[in-house]
C-alpha cells in the first residue's frame, strides 16, 4: 500500500490553536489538585518556586500558579505563546528538557505528560539529569508518565467533541505499539473541524516513549533521586493516576 507520510506533532505547531479547544485548562483541575497535594506534602507551606519542563500551553500549571512561583520551559514556540497567554505571571522560556541549563535551582521540578516525548532510556536519563541540575539536595521532582508498560493495553482509543460559539471539533486518537521490542508507541490523531468558513480534516502523529516501572525507578535513582510513587483515583482513568516523586539526594 502506498501510504502518505503524516506530519508529526502538529498539535504543538500549526494545530496548536486546537489545544485549548480539545483539552481546555479546566479539564486539568482534578489532576492538578493531586500535584498540589504532593508538592505541599514534600515542600510544606509557602510560595515555593517550581520549574515545569515541557509545560506546553500551561494548562495543568495554570491550577498551581496561585500557590507557587512558576517558570515554564518548552520546546515549541507555539505552545510557549499559549502558555504566556494563559499564565501571564509565569516566566516562559524556550528549551529542550534533555539539555537546558538555566544555571539556577528551584524548590521543585515538574514534568507532566511531556515526559512521554522521551523515546529512549538515553532521553529519559537526560531529562532526569536536567531536573537534578535544577534542584539543590532535598529538592523535589514530580513526574506523571501517561502510560507505563505494565498497564498499556493497545489499542487505546479516545474521542472528544467540543463546541464553542463558532466552531465544533471532534477528535479521535488511537495509540498502538507497532514494535513491542522497542521503547516507543505511536498515536494517530484525526481532527474534524467545522468553522464558519467551512470544514477541515487534519491528521497528526505522535511517537512517545513506553517504559516499565522498574526502568523509571532505576533511571531516577541513577540521576540521584530517592523515589516514591503516589497513586490517586482520577475520574475517566481506568487505573490509578501515578505520580513519581523524587527527592534529590
Ligand atoms: C501534551 S503537551 C504538554 C501539556 C501540558 N502538560 C499542559 O498541561 O498544558 C507536551 C509538550 O511537550 C513539549 N515537548 C516535547 N518534547 C520536549 C522536549 N524535549 N523538551 C521540552 N518540551 C518538550 C511539546 O512541545 C509540548 O508542548
Mind listing the pLDDT tens digit for each residue in 222-242?
999 999 999 999 998 989 999
Domain membership of residue 41 (yes or no) is yes
Burial class (CB in 10 A: 0-12, 13-18, 19+), 205: middle
**Same domain, yes or no, for 158 and 45?**
no
> What pLDDT, on the 0 to 100 scale, is given for residue 2?
56
Do both 121 and 159 map to the same domain? no
Reported as a single tens digit per residue, the pLDDT across 150-186 is 999 999 999 999 998 899 999 999 999 999 999 999 9
Report whether the peptide linkage leading into residue 217 is cis, meaning its omega lies within 30 degrees of zero. Answer: no
Mean local confidence (pLDDT), 100-127 = 98
Count Cβ atoms below 10 Å from residue 245 Cβ, excluding itself.
20
173 found inside a domain: yes
- Assess if residue 3 is contained within a domain: no
Identify the pLDDT of residue 1.
55
Is 5 or 225 the better-scoring residue by pLDDT? 225
> Best mutation site among 51, 117, 127, 184 for ligand 1, i.e. most ligand atoms within 8 A of its Cβ?
117
Beta bridge partners of 51: 71, 109
User: Is 77:13 a contact under the CB 8 Å cutoff?
Assistant: no
Q: Which residue in 195, 189, 159, 161 sits closest to 21, CA to CA?
A: 161
Same domain? For 167 and 138 the reply is: no
**214 and 204 share a domain?**
no
Q: Is 147 in the pocket of ligand 1 (CB under 6 A)?
A: no
Atom 19, ligand 1: residue with shortest CA distance: 96
- CA dist 170 and 168 (Å) reads 7
Q: Are residues 171 and 107 in the same domain?
A: no
Nearest to 60 by CA among 22, 97, 103, 27: 27
Between the CA of 114 and the centroid of ligand 1 the distance, in Å, is 4
In sequence order, the β-bridge partners of residue 54 are none
Atom 27 of ligand 1, nearest CA residue: 56
Model pLDDT for residues 198-217, shown as the tens digit of each residue: 999 999 999 999 999 999 99
> For ligand 1, what atom is nearest to the CA of residue 113?
6
Q: Are 107 and 201 in contact, with CB atoms under 8 Å apart?
A: no
Cβ of 13 below 6 Å from ligand 1: no
Pairing verdict, β 69-74 and 91-94 = parallel
Assign 3 a pLDDT band (cuts: 50, 70, 90): low
64 lines ligand 1 (CB under 6 A): no
pLDDT of the residue at 53: 98
Q: Is residue 55 part of a domain?
A: yes
Can you list the alpha helix ranges (DSSP code H) found in the chain?
19-22, 29-43, 77-86, 121-133, 213-222
What does the block give as the cell for 137? 539536595
Q: Are 63 and 28 in contact (CB under 8 A)?
A: yes
Q: Please indicate whether residue 35, judged by its CB atom, sits closer than 6 Å to ligand 1.
A: no
> Which residue, among 102, 66, 72, has the nearest Cα to 84 in the 3D structure?
72
CA of 178 to the centre of ligand 1 (A): 23
Any atom of ligand 1 within 6 Å of the Cβ of 79: yes
pLDDT at 59 over 70: yes
Q: Does residue 78 sit in the same domain as residue 110?
A: yes
Work out the mean pLDDT of the chain and round it to a whole number: 96
* Position in ligand 1 atom list of the atom nearest CA 79: 27
Give me the pLDDT at residue 6, please.
Answer: 82
Write down the pLDDT at residue 118. Answer: 98
Instruction: Work out how many domains the chain is built from and give that number.
Output: 2
3-state DSSP assignment of residue 14: coil
- 56 within ligand 1 shell (Cβ under 6 A): yes
- Residue 76 in contact with ligand 1 by CB distance below 6 A: yes
> Do 87 and 121 lie in a common domain?
yes
CA distance 141 to 227: 9
Residues 57 and 74 sit within 8 Å (Cβ to Cβ): no
Please answer whether residues 112 and 51 qualify as being in contact, where contact means their C-beta atoms are separated by less than 8 angstroms: no
- Domain residue limits at 179: 149-209
Asked if pLDDT for residue 7 goes beyond 90, the answer is no
Residues 28 and 131 in one domain: yes
Specify whether 65 is located in the same domain as 137: yes
Give me ligand 1 centre to Cα 75, in Å.
7
d(CA 21, CA 15): 11
Inter-axis angle of helices 121-133 and 213-222, nearest 10: 40
Whether residue 30 lies inside any domain: the answer is yes
- From ligand 1's centre to the CA of 54, what distance in Å? 4
pLDDT band at 140 (very low <50, low <70, confident <90, very high): very high
Amino acid at each position: 500500500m502506498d501510504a502518505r507520510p503524516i506530519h508529526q506533532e502538529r498539535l504543538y505547531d500549526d494545530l496548536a490553536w486546537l489545544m485549548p479547544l480539545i483539552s481546555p485548562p479546566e479539564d486539568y483541575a482534578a489532576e492538578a489538585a493531586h500535584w498540589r497535594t504532593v508538592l505541599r506534602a514534600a515542600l510544606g507551606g509557602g510560595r515555593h518556586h517550581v520549574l515545569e519542563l515541557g509545560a506546553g500551553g500551561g494548562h495543568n500549571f495554570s491550577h498551581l500558579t496561585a500557590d507557587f512561583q512558576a517558570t515554564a520551559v518548552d520546546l515549541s514556540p507555539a505552545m510557549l505563546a499559549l502558555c504566556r497567554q494563559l499564565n501571564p505571571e509565569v516566566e516562559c522560556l524556550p528549551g529542550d528538557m534533555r539539555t537546558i541549563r538555566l544555571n539556577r535551582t528551584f524548590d521543585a521540578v515538574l514534568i507532566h505528560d511531556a515526559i512521554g516525548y522521551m523515546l529512549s532510556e538515553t532521553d529519559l536519563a537526560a531529562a532526569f539529569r536536567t531536573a537534578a541540575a535544577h534542584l539543590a539536595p532535598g529538592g523535589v521532582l514530580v513526574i506523571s508518565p501517561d502510560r507505563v508498560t505494565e498497564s498499556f493495553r493497545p489499542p487505546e482509543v479516545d474521542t472528544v467533541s467540543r463546541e464553542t460559539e463558532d466552531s465544533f471539533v471532534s477528535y479521535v486518537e488511537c495509540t498502538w505499539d507497532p514494535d513491542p521490542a522497542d521503547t516507543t508507541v505511536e498515536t494517530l490523531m484525526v481532527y474534524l473541524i467545522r468553522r464558519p468558513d467551512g470544514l477541515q480534516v487534519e491528521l497528526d502523529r505522535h511517537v512517545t516513549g513506553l517504559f516499565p516501572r522498574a526502568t523509571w525507578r532505576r533511571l531516577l535513582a541513577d540521576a540521584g533521586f530517592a523515589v516514591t510513587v503516589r497513586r490517586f483515583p482520577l475520574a475517566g482513568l481506568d487505573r490509578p493516576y501515578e505520580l513519581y516523586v523524587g527527592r534529590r539526594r
